[in-house]
Structure formats: structure tokens, C-alpha cells
Structure 1
């Protein structure tokens, strides 16, 4: 994540859409799990599918062995255990490290000053240091030849190779090379034989034991960037190129087999065949990792699975639905993608924009002459997305706007273009702003010529335009439709804000702005319109009163994007001054501001308010910031003792049955043959149940319930019960049972007391707590007594009636609070 300085509200959470960069991936096999793990470097982190903790600088080299992952950044090297914890740090290089090689209990690193250091992994001490003269031997690649004990093979930019014994620090042999820089060294499945990739495009299969070249291949796509060999019984070698093609070579017949064109849109950074499997893993600087399987005739590989993001920085991001689970992102690479905030398996790409979808499928994206430029802005609506297209997008410098279908994950059926420009296409007119109505039926499109048109999203038909000729004298910079499809608001380069009636297209209001607007954003629920001006200020206009209610200033650069919080209380803005500011609309003040490393170009607040998403200059990912105001400390302080609903949760207050203790001596009957004295059997007419009714003393609460039967006044028993604690309340309610000395009439009087509390429309929670505990203690007994059942039905009717009035009051309060939260008072 970009570093933030000073934010109180937002804290970095995670990054979406980042998978790979220009560094080659590393393959790691976990013996315990019996699984392969792929590691790729992404900025300051590496991914193991799983993500590591961040390092202070971008990773310059990556390597792994069976226990640790090694990442070089700047002049330092860190060793990670379990992909998270830094367990070792190696310091000693005077220049940036660019090559790493794990070697048993040691780690070999090479920096840009041509210094090779061999480290002891556990002690972090330097075992050996070798310095080369850059003019004669600049290290560009290194490897450990299989079965060669303590031997390391170095390749150089001058083309020669050197074999060293690092234990004795001796140069064993120098290979003259092939007059071209060595870019890749890779062990083949055969012992003593290595594959050498050269900057000239040559691939050399060389026996280093006899210094003999076995075969040569020539790649026509430029320098060799990666090599790998199949180990599942097929003698196939794969080679990578700078333009994204992969070549497959047959080592038995010494010929070129096939090519995998456009495997990546940028140079192949790394490719690796899995051990004894027909699977090839590739990655590149286009922010993609792909797995290819070789199970078809002809030896060609097909795409099995992939993780891809934008290969160029995003230009616009926006949450797609109310669940906050998906973020739509348009990138400078011309693609529209959806990223899931839950898991990467829910990501999907909607593809590139094109004028001819069928031709694009046949020729491919790279060869499509009708390919559209990058998307500059878009609008989405989920109301009718299952019926027809729900996304509309503007393209850089292009008049045609395109529709997209989220459900199908592809470009839509319509290309919307105003007919007025059909006769004169030489005019430099392009779409600048779009919006979709909340019902999902209409799209409103604004042009740089000042025109605003309305189209039907289902049929693509033109449904009118605003103004007699043009809506504005200059380019339209912002466009919005309210929640009820009653009003359309537009801002233009002519420094005017205009409010139109959506259906009749008539002009209702014109408002002059102090400076030219850069963009506008409408919060549909509250009716607040935010306008970013070219003088770096922000004006808030109330659509109901049509007056400016707030003015915010403080940014020192162009305002790139704005977003409202779901309740409309906050406006969050991003500027080219590398700040992200949060403004509180009710108080009209700045509540938060923080700096980021790169200026944010787009912002989107989730509909649930828990995350802020941002995209940044020269960044390929989408960064999520968690909203700290939704979190609070968990209080361990118990509830107050007078909180009545706790009585139902109180455990029984009666003493536990004590266990029977056996006597020290079992009694016996004396005689010639001693016998055990059996306990006497009680008579049948003797009862084991002790009747406490005669012995029980009536409490004050019990007596007041008896008196209330005659007076029908229950104020005194309720007042007494309110003064008792939870334990005393349970004791009193237990004593109402005939088994504990009570009476059915007194229990009936208690139910009438509950009815009187409910009819008074006071102490609703108190009555609920008392009734819940009473039913918990005496439910079975009540079910057997007709008098009590009749009274219980009466209590149930009063309870339902009271709850209906209570629910109506609660709904009124919720409605009033929602209005106060969304309105500026």
C-alpha cells in the first residue's frame, strides 16, 4: 500500500489487482503439504498466494529454498519464514543487489558493483566475497550445476562463463562463450548439460564437463529472457522473449515445435515447468501470472488458469453494487475489469473496447484495427443489469460511447453515437461525461461540443437532447441525474451550472460558478452536488434550494476525483498535491487529511462505508483503506446491576444437591455369619416430597399480589419488584408456585400485573423481562391450569398490541434520524 501520513480516519488494509512485475517468479515445493507455491514480487511485497509483509523499498530480486524466501531490496537482503516473518537480514553490500541464489546452508548474492557475497544463512556472516572487474567479467546470471559439489557457474555480459569452487575460492574453468551477453543459465534434465540464453536470441545447450556445445537454436524475437525444460518425459524446452511470445523446442529432433504468441503483453519475466507435470507457469511485467497445460495434439499449450490485473494504471474506479463486494476499474490498457474485495477467484475482466466484437475475436486484441482507446470515465447501475447492459463508458478522444454487460462480462450490444455528427466526422468532438438513471433505463451522455443527449439503454435509441441546440457553450465537464429521474444537472466550461427537467428537457435553473468546473458529483440520497473547480476549491450545492451551502478550499493542485460517504456527511477528495482530504458537510470543516506517495487519480467509497478505494499515478493496483470510525474499543465493563433483562439469564439460586458420602463403616448384623444391614424400605403411604406450603412464610410481594386481586391496583407490587435485585426477583417468582407455598390465584394476579404494565405503555422492557422469567419457571404448570391459560392469552393480546405501537414509534424515530443524517441543517 502507498504510505500514508497523518490520517486519523483511514488506515491501509490491502491492495487489489496486483500479481506480478518485471522480476521472474520463483517456484517452491512444500514437502509437508506436497504442493508447489509460486512467488512473485509486487513492489515492496512478494506474493505466495498469500501475501508477505511489506519491505521499505521495492524488491529487486527474489529467491526461495525449502525453508525460507529471500528478497533483496536496495543494499539489503531479508529472509522470510512462513512468508510473513523476517528472520534474517543480511547487510554488507555497497550497491543494490540484483541477483540471488540459495545454495544449501548458504545464500549467494550479486550487486551492481559486481561484488559476489556468499552468506551463512543462520549466522548472517559473510562466508566468502568475490569482486570482479566490470570491464572483463560483469556477472549477469548464475546457477548451481546439478551434482557439482560446491560449484557455481557464473555468466557475464561479455559472453564468457566461469565455474568456481566456492568452498576453496578457486576458479576452476573459464568458458569463452559465444560473443553475446549471457541472459539466462538453466539446468537441463541431463547431468553436466546446461541451457544458456543469450542477448542475441541464441539458445545454447552446452556440456560443461567436456566444454562441448550439443545444439544451438535461434530465437527471432530478441534476447532470451527465460528458459525451462519439461521433466514429464517429453524433451521440450520453452524460451521467453521480450515481446511476450514463448517458443517451444524439441531437443531430440533439434527443431522448433511451435510458438505461443502473445502469452503476455510485455516481456516474459519467468517461466517454469512443474516437476513431472505438463504444466508451465509464466509471469510478466503486464501484471499477470498464467498456468498453461500441455494436453493437446501438436505440443501447444492452452491456458489453464490465470491471475491478471491492469497492465497500465487505472483511470477510474467505482463500486458496482450495494454489497461493496465488487469494484469496477477502467485502465489505460483499454480494459474494464471487476475486482472482488472478498477473494481473487471472483475477479473478472470485461475485456477491451472494440467497435467490432466478432472481428476482434478472430484477429485478436493486438491486431484489432477497430480497438477503442482507454476508458476515461464510466457509470454503472445494477437495477436492470440482468435484463440489458448496465454500464456505459466514454473513451479517450472518441465520440462513440460503449455499453457493457456485467453479467456476461463483456462489451455490450450498443455503440451510442449522435447522428448530428455523421456528416462531419472531422470535428474534434468526444464524449466527456456519462450517467445512468437509477432505474437503469436511460443513459445521459455529455460531449465536448456542449451537447447532452439521452439514450435508451435497452434499445440504444436516441430519446432527446437538452437545449435548443447546445446545453452549454463549452465542453460539459460534469453530468448527473437525481434519484427520482426528475432533474438533470450539468456543469460546463462556460462556468455555468444548469438544472434541467429530465422528461421535458426544459431548463429550470442556471447558476454561475466563480471558476471553470473540473468535475461534479451528485449524492442522490441527500441531493447534494459537489463541484470541483479549476481554482482548486470545492462548492456544495443543495439541489432542493438550488443554493451553494458549503465552500471548501485547501488543495494545492488539480482535484482528480471526489466521493461521498454513504450517508452524505463526508466528501472525500483527491488532488495532484498527493493529499486525500475528508470534509464534513454538516460542520463545514476539514476532519482528515493524509499524504500518499503518489497522487490518487480516482476514489470510491463503499456503499457500506467500511472501505475507501483509491488508485494512484503509475500504480497498477486498487488500494483499500479501512474506515476506523466504524471500529471502537470493546468494553469489558459489565452491564449495570439494575438492568432488568438480566434476570432471565441468572442461574438458579437454589443450592446444588450435595453428593452422597459413603460411611466409613458399612453396618452389619452380628451373628455367626455377619450380614450387611440393608436399609429399611419405606411404607407405601409415606411420601418422599416435603410439602413446604404449610411451612412457607408469605413475603411482602406475595401479600401485595393477593391484595391486588381485590383492589385491582398493581402499583405497589410493581414498585416493590423494581427495588429488588435479580436474585431476589427470581426467588419471589419461584415462591408463587403451589409447590413452594404459592397459589394459582396469586400466579393469576401476577399475569394481571403484567397486563397492567403493558396497558400503561411504560416499562415495556421491564414487563418483557419479568414475563420471560415467569414463563421460564412455570411454563409447564401454566399449561395444565385453564385459569392461567386464559390469563396468559390475555397477556399475549396486550403484548402484541403494545408492540405494534412500539414498533411504529421506532420506525418514526429511524426515519427522522435518517433524514437528519443526510440533510444539511
Structure 2
């Protein structure tokens, strides 16, 4: 498969990177202690993966590999994390990879309990299986009668060897010995279904949570109820005991409230209302610390600390996203690090693409913030509907509000302050509606000027108003009474506050002078527009129509310059690339398409399993962010054209887009798209070839300091000459004998005995270096690789010494000088190490010019080298001149 086809199979222009804003689901979390790290870790199930956080900072430390389906049950022991989906149970090691798979259930698993070297699982058909955690074999299988004892909770009581306690929907409890497979004792119960079982700090004592809202503190050794509590908020969803010296029990409810009970005085101590906006899924007191960890289906993890009066807790750390799907996202600022997101839960939140600790929530919109705080989330009648459209600017955001938002079916637009992370000071609506609120009139479109001073708001009646962001004062409206006959589908202000563009449902686009509010131009569109988007830097306006087509309008010439068609569903959102070359659109047909504006072609298209509701492109061009139908996450797609070769050629008319899986919390290493593995993006180490094409030359990889200063060594030595003569060091007490030569070698004992002979060995005194010896051998073998490699390993001073030693007066010979010249000829012939050949030859000529002129053999070899050098350089110079001409022509064409 070629590169283009591989890129197409892999989704082309965009590749899944990771998802933001996903923290928790309806599955209770598990708390683990790492003995070596001496730290507590928290594991939560998010979709198909398990996220692991440290409790100290609530920072994510690991994300597991994704399972085939969403996780429905979670448990953990000292070494493994157990997660199940449907009827299959998996075990994760090192918080990441699946190491064990347990298959044998016929129905969905809904209860898990680690038990020493075993794990217990119970399915909805009332079958309990005990698995050996390592061998994956079934140790025991027990089938309960669903009519008389439907298992609804399981617990291993502390110090009870081989025993488990089971709770049932009928209200009774049973104590079983797993090793002998015997029912030891049956507790009659309290005639209400058991929802949860929790071990108390005291041995033999267990807390039993009932569907009626009762909590029974029961001694299972003597079958005796010690105390009984009741909460008014429905079934008990979770129970936890404080173990730092305070006898306190916490209980969770289905509506998100937490009750704290004093076990000594046997009474309710305090209530923490609206801790979560959904049911409390999991609750754990950190052993030995005044910290309570809770999670819920509202996509929130919270760590509460109990350090205040009255025993109530406050939020110490939290990680929370949208509890209902986000509907509109936009990048905030120009650094591409913050994404503003408005969700169906009524909140406006900011998610950081850098780190979760920079996430922040701007809260919910409210008519009266003070009254809302007093009433609480559940009873708040002052809350505003969810935000449908918003616009933001960073200019002056530290001085006044920089965000303005429209609410669903509501005429009043709200301002928000990013710096204060709260709702702003102003509520913007026309003066005629200041005393009463109309039912059928609402704000539909909004834009904020690039200077951050003005907000332009369009209404469903066709009216377009301008407000001052600093004071909230109404600064006028466009048109005599209203700007359009139909509802406003979009408003936009250019980058210099010269023009305001409005689109109406009657099919007109109008251009107004921003300051004087005069109509400049009006044009009729081919169809009713559903939305517009302006790229301020280039003055390009994207228009989405209700017939699923898209047009691009130039606001300077006020003409349609491009028209695109190809979507088969309502266009949900559009976004431009930072340079204005691409228009990216999402539709209800579950496709995301990228249109190239200069060529007017579709260059990329891929499908997702759920339609993208909103899109936004990073101002830095590195990521595309999307939100999807019925999904809480914000998905980041990396722009592959920034870091790999991606074909931007137009897609053929018969191109069939492939389904691309949405990314998980961390970058996925083995993304499989449409059954084709992406091997083109693997990081393959590049190995440079030894030799380029034959008509080119190859340089060595040596640093310049090894060869560039060879001709200037005499100057360098003069500059480095010491001012004072060197002092003779004191003689050493002993010395190791060495063999004379340029590169000293220690004398072996045998050689030492030889040198002590009275007969002088003249061969030892002939100081031939290794380089000299290699050149002599090369005369016979005609192989010059060894002397060249040796020369490359030396420094400039050593190279000069070696070349000086080649002349007869330096102890060399004419034959060795001839061998050196042939070595240079070999380098020039093979066209590699080109700069080294020039430097070595220049130094050789400088040192031995007198000897060369007096020896005919050397003169003949030098003349041959001269011709070889001239041919090579003339060819290279021709290539240089040709490249410079092409480069000069291209630069002049661009200018």
C-alpha cells in the first residue's frame, strides 16, 4: 500500500489523539494502597478504560487499554484491577494491560469481590463463581435460586477466613465458607432488599444498607443489631467509615446527598447536600486520614476534607466535566490551550489541552445568583436554560467580561468572566422587554468584537442589537425596526469593526456599517441559511444551508466564491483552519469533512459512530476538537499534516469514507481504523546512506574542528604559546617502559626482556606510526580504508604530525607520500568525505611542496589529482548554479 492510500485508510488528515473532560461514570470507584510508593491510588471506570489517579494531587497517572465494551463493574486487590463488561471479566496489571481473562458466566456480571488469591463474581442470573486469579480456573460455582435469594451485595468480613457474606434482594443475608462450599449461617434480614454491605472498623461488625433508606449496624458473630439509622433520600447507594479516630459513618443517596452519622451518639451529625448532581456511585474514606472520596455518574470525582467545625466536609480537590453532553465548544485565546464548552447541564466550563489541573468551571447561569445559592441545585428555580451559542474574546478579559452567551428559548443573553470563573455582571436584552419577559422571543445568535468592547445579539424576531460589554448599555440596533423579516440565523463582525454581517431565515445576507448601523449591501441566498461563521483574518464567510450545502462568501467583493455539497444531514457546525485554507464541517450524517478553499475540493472525510455536534480548530492549527451526540467528552484530533506526509489531493467522486474510532483519554498507540494498521506513522529510525547519488558528493559527519583549521595550525600555536617556559616536573618514583612512537604502547614483559638485550634492535628505534604502516600496506593491497579511518580519528595537531612524518627528512619515504596521494585520489573517485580530502590535501601540499616538485613520480600523481579535482568541482558548480537560479525564480514569483 502506498503512502497516500495508507493515509486515506488511516483517516487521512486527522488522527484521534485523546479525549478531555471524562472522569467518572456510574461504576463505583476503588481505592488502593501502593506499599512501595506509600501512596493511595484511585481507580475509576470511564467508558471502556480504567483511569488511575493519585489521591495526593488527583492527577491521572495511568489509563488502561480499552476493553471491547463499556465497563459495568470494577474491583481491585493488591496487585490487579478487575473490570467486567457483559459476561466477561478481565484483570489489569500495572493499571494498563489485560493479563487475565475469566470466561464462564452466561449473563451480565454485576458484583465483584477480590478474595485473597481468588476473585468472586456474581451475574444477574444469580450464579456465583470463584476464580483463581492467576490460573483463570474456576475454583467454585454456586447457583442460587433467584426467587428465594437473589444476590445483591457481597462482602468478605475482616478476619473471617475463607468466608463471604451475601446480601439479597429479599432482605436476608447468608454467610458462606468458600473453601468447603457450605452455608454457615442465614440472617433473616429486615424485609427490605440489601443494596450495599460495608465492613466497620470493629471486627464482626458490618453495615447493611437497605433499599428503604435504613442503615443497620449489625454484629454478624452474635446476629445482633447494634444501631439503626434512616435517611429520607431513598436507597443507600454507598457506605464508608472514617478511621482516623472519629467514629463517623458516611452514607450516599440516589439524589447526590451525603449523610454523616455519629456512631457514639447514634445520631445524624450533618448533611452534605448536592455533593453530586446524580447518585453517589462510590464512597471511600482514606484510611487514617480525614478525607472522603466520592464519585458519581455526573462525571465528577471529589475529595472532601473534614477539618472544619460541625463535622461537615469541604471540597479539597475535584475533577469534574459536564454531567450532560456539551453542545457548543470554542477555543479561547490564541495559544490553543483552553477550550470553552457549554453543556446541556447548564454549565460553562473551560478545559485545558495541557493538563487537567488547569480545568475550571464557570458555573451555571442564573437569574439571581444569591437566591440560587440559598436554594441549592435541586430546588433552584432561578437557573437559566442551557447555553446554545456563545462568543469569547481575550482582549480586555482582565478588565471586564469577555464572554457573551445565548440561552435556549430565552431572550436574555448573559456575560461571563473568564478570569473570575463566574457569571458576569450584565444581562443583555432589549429595553422594551425590561419589565416583562416574552415567551416566544429568544436570542438565536451572538458575536463579540475582536476588541472585546461590543456584543452583537440577534433575536428570533429578526432584531439585531449592539451592547457595550463593559457597562452592558444598549448601543443601538440595525434596521429601522428590525434587521431581517425572519429569525436571525447568524451574526458576525469583521476584525476591524467596519462591517456587521447578518443572516436571516428569509434567505437574505445583509452587510451593515458597524458604527452608523447603515445598510451597505443585501443579497439573496439560494436557500435558507442555518448558520454562518466568519474567518476574520481573511474576510471569508462560511454559510451552512438547510439543504445541507455550504457556500463561502468573500465579504470584500460580497460574492459567493465557493459552493460545496456532499453532506446528507443537517450541518451542525463549521470551523476554519487558522490560515483560512480549510473549512471543516460536521453533519448529522456522522461525517466530518475538510474542504480546501483555494482548490474548491474535498480533501478529507471520515465517519464517526456518533454525529459531531460542535467543532473548533485550534488557533495554532495542531488540533481539531469535537463533541458528539449523547457523549460527555471533548475529543481532540491531531492535524497529521504538521508531523507527517499527508496527501491533500482531492478525494475521488466515488470515495467511501471509513469509520474512525474516537480516541481514549491518552494517545492510543495501536489505533486500528477500518481493519488497516497504521504502520506509516511508526517512528522508524532514519539511517543515512554512506553514499549519495553518483553525480553528487557526500561530506563526512566529522565536526569542523577536526579539519577546518588544518592550514592555520601555525597561527594557532603562536597564539597559544605560553608566556613562561614550562617547568620540568619532578621525576616520578617509577615508570613503565613504553615502545617509542607517536602513539605510545606499554612494553609487555617479553618485549621488556628483549629490549634489555645488549644487542641494539634498530627496528624498535625506527618510529613508524600506525598510519605510516597502513599506507605502506596500501601500496601493496590498494586498500585505503584503514589509513583514512585512522586519520579521521585524529585531532588537527596529530594529523599534522602524521603528514610531516611522511617526507624523507621526517623519517618517511617517497613511496609513502605517493601512497598518501593515491588515498586522496581514491576519496575523490568515490566522492565521499569530500571536505576531508580537500583539507588533508591542502595541508600535505603546504608541508611538502618542495619535495613534490623534485620527485617526478609525485609530480605525475599530483597532476592527475588536479584534473580529477577540476572535473568534480566544475560538475558541482553547475548543479549549484542551477539550484540558485530556480530558487531566485521562485522567490521573485512569490513577491
TM-score normalised by structure 2 residue count: 0.75
2:140 matches 1:140:
no
Q: By how many angstroms is 1:534 displaced?
A: 0.9
My pick for the range that moved more, 126-135 or 184-193, is 126-135
Does the 8 A contact of 2:453 with 2:470 survive in 1? yes
Task: Tell me what 2:296 maps to.
Answer: 284
Corresponding residue number in structure 1 for 2:593: 581
* 2:309 match: secondary structure: coil
1:563 — aligned with what? 575
Distance 1:505 1:126, change over 3 A: same
Please tell me whether residue 509 in structure 1 is matched to residue 521 in structure 2.
yes
**Distance verdict in 2 for CA 1:247–1:736, change over 3 Å:** farther
SS state at 2:752 partner: coil
Q: Distance in 2 between matches of 1:273 and 1:492?
A: 57
| Distance verdict in 2 for CA 1:349–1:545, change over 3 Å | same
SS of the residue corresponding to residue 109 of structure 1 reads strand
Q: 2:94 pairs with 70, 82, 92, which one?
A: 82
From 13, 20, 26, the counterpart of 2:17: 13
Structure-2 residue corresponding to 1:730:
839
Matching residue within 468, 472, 497 for 1:485: 497
Structure 2 distance, partners of 1:740, 1:221, is: 104
Would the aligned equivalents of 2:700 and 2:832 in 1 still touch at CA under 8 Å?
no
Q: CA offset at residue 592 of structure 1? A: 2.2
Partner of 2:412: 400
Residue 298 of structure 1 aligns to a residue whose secondary structure is helix
CA shift in 2, pair 1:412/1:808, >3 Å = farther
Task: Quote the Cα distance in structure 2 between the aligned partners of 1:395 and 1:491.
Answer: 19
Partner of 1:343: 355
Q: Deviations over 1:683-723 (max 9, x none)?
A: xxxxx997999989xxxxxxxxxxxxxxxxxxxxxxxxx99
CA distance in 1, matches of 2:96, 2:259: 36
CA displacement at 1:137 relative to structure 2: 1.1
C-alpha change, 1:812 and 1:251, in structure 2 (3 Å) is: farther
Q: Distance in 1 between matches of 2:355 and 2:138?
A: 42
* Partners of 2:340 and 2:349 within 8 A in 1: yes
- Counting only pairs closer than 5 Å after superposition, residues 219-618 of structure 1 correspond to structure 2 as 219-422=231-434, 425-426=437-438, 428-618=440-630
Partner Cα separation in structure 1 for residue 399 and residue 605 of structure 2: 42
Q: What is the Cα-based RMSD across aligned positions, in Å?
A: 3.4
**1:116-265 equivalences in 2 (<5 Å):** 116-265=128-277
Q: 1:662 aligns with which of 747, 755, 780?
A: 747
Equivalent residue, structure 2, for 1:28: 32
For 1:104, the equivalent position in structure 2 comes to: 116
The 3-state SS of whatever aligns with 2:839 is: helix
Q: Does the CA-based 8 Å contact 1:645-1:766 persist in structure 2?
A: no
Deviation at 1:292, TM superposition (A): 0.9
Give yes or no for contact 2:198–2:239 (8 Å, CA) kept in 1. Answer: yes
Q: For structure 2, which runs of at least 5 residues remain unmatched after alignment?
A: 1-7, 54-61, 645-680, 711-740, 759-764, 766-800, 811-830, 851-875, 882-886
- 1:516/1:533 contact within 8 Å kept: yes
1:43–1:724 Cα change, 3 Å: closer
Q: Kindly provide the CA deviation profile for residues 332-390 of structure 1, in whole angstroms up to 9, marking residues without a partner as x.
A: 11111111111100111111112333444454444444322111111111122222221
**What are the within-5 Å matches in structure 2 for residues 689-708 of structure 1?**
none
The structural deviation recorded for 1:425 is: 3.2
1:545 to 1:207, Cα distance in 2 relative to 1, 3 A: same
Map of 1:746 onto structure 2? none
8 Å contact 1:647–1:729 — kept in the other structure?
no
Q: Report how far residue 424 of structure 1 moved.
A: 5.5
Partner of 1:345: helix, strand, or coil? Answer: helix
Take 1:89 and 1:669, find their aligned partners in 2: how far apart are those partners?
79
Judged with a 3 Å threshold, the aligned counterparts in structure 2 of structure 1 residues 337 and 808 are, in CA distance, closer, same or farther, namely farther
CA contact (8 A) 1:644 1:766 kept: no
Distance in structure 1 (CA, Å) of the matches to 2:378 and 2:849: 89
1:592 and 1:557 map into 2 onto residues whose CA distance is: 18
Q: Secondary structure, in 3 states, of the residue corresponding to 1:555?
A: coil
Task: Give the Cα separation in 2 of the matches to 1:737 and 1:110.
Answer: 90
Deviations 1:242-270 (A, max 9, x none): 11111111112211111111111111111
Deviation of 1:544 after TM superposition, in Å, equals 2.4
1:652 paired residue number: 706
Alpha-carbon distance between aligned partners in 2 of 1:500 and 1:170, rounded to the nearest angstrom: 85
Cα-to-partner distance string for 1:742-765 (whole Å, 9 max, x where unaligned): xxxxxxxxxxxxxxxxxxxx99x9
Q: Which runs of 5+ in 1 are unaligned?
A: 671-678, 680-687, 697-721, 742-761, 768-806, 817-825
Per-residue deviation, residues 470-525 of structure 1 (Å, max 9, x unmatched): 11101101111122222221111011111222222222222212221111111122
In 1, the alpha carbon distance for the partners of 2:437 and 2:369 equals 22
Q: Give CA deviations for 1:95-125 in whole Å, capped at 9, x if unaligned.
A: 1111111111111111111111111111111
Instruction: Please list the CA deviations of residues 264-314 of structure 1 after superposition, one character each: whole Å capped at 9, or x if unmatched.
Output: 111111111111111111111111111111122222112111111111111
Aligned counterparts of 2:849 and 2:496: Cα–Cα separation in 1: 66
Please state whether the residue corresponding to 1:113 is helix, strand or coil: coil
Distance 1:171 1:258 in 2: 39
Instruction: Measure, in 2, the Cα distance between the counterparts of 1:310 and 1:734.
Output: 73
Question: Cα distance, 1:414 vs. partner?
Answer: 1.7
CA apart distance, 1:731: 3.1
Q: Is this contact kept in 2: 1:518–1:534, CA < 8 A?
A: yes
SS at match of 1:48: strand
Is contact 2:198-2:240 (8 Å) kept?
Answer: yes
- Cα deviation for residue 144 of structure 1 reads 0.4
Contact 1:102 / 1:108 at 8 angstroms: preserved in 2?
Answer: yes
Aligned equivalents of 1:661 and 1:766: distance in 2? 51
